[in-house]
Amino acid sequence: QSVLTQPPSVSAAPGQKVTISCSGSSSNIEYNYVSWYQHLPGTAPKLLIYENNKRPSGIPDRFSASKSGTSATLGITGLQTGDEADYYCGTWDSSLSAKVFGTGTKVNVL
């Protein structure tokens, strides 16, 4: 079972905005960088965000992220059908001495 909790799913219409929360603790999110990944089943997961809010080259600015205390948030604006995927947060857990991932959130574009 994951130490990082995400909502199972979020939905919005094309063009709208969704936010995905990632809730952790002082042993993980609060004092460590958070990353976000997009995963379409059957494909390689893609890094969207690293070091809490930085985008790798090629990731559009429709994707943004922030962190506050023991929680992190991913936002997607201008939602597109191609954004339908599973999204995972990830970080390091100092108590477990392990890289950990969130439970995952399915984004549905209505």
Partner 1 sequence: QVQLQESGPGLVKPSETLSLICAVSGYSINSGYYWGWIRQPPGKGLEWIGTIYHNGNTYYNPSLKSRVTLSVDTSKNHFSLKLNSVTAADTAVYYCARDHYGAYPFDYWGQGTLVTVSS
**Number of separate helices (H) and strands (E) present in the chain:** 0, 9
Q: How far is the CB of 108 from partner 1 (least distance, A)?
A: 17
Subset of residues 41 to 80 that bind partner 1, contact rule: CB under 8 A: 42-47, 50-51, 56
With vertex at residue 101, the alpha carbon angle to CA 86 and CA 28, rounded to the nearest 5 degrees, is 140
**Residue type (1 letter), 3:** V
Per CB under 8 A, 19 contacts partner 1: no
Torsion sign (Cα): 25, 93, 54, 85: negative
Return phi, psi of residue 62, to 5°. Answer: -65, -20
Q: Which of 83, 85, 102, 107 binds partner 1 (CB under 8 A)?
A: 102
Per CB under 8 A, 5 contacts partner 1: no
Determine whether 56 is exposed, middle or buried from the number of CB atoms within 10 Å of its CB (0-12, 13-18, 19+). Answer: exposed
Q: Which is nearer to partner 1, 16 or 26 (CB)?
A: 26
Q: Which of 14, 26, 96, 110 binds partner 1 (CB under 8 A)?
A: 96
Per CB under 8 A, 110 contacts partner 1: no
User: Where do contacts with partner 1 occur on this chain (CB under 8 A)?
Assistant: 2, 32-35, 37, 39, 42-47, 50-51, 56, 88, 90-92, 96-104
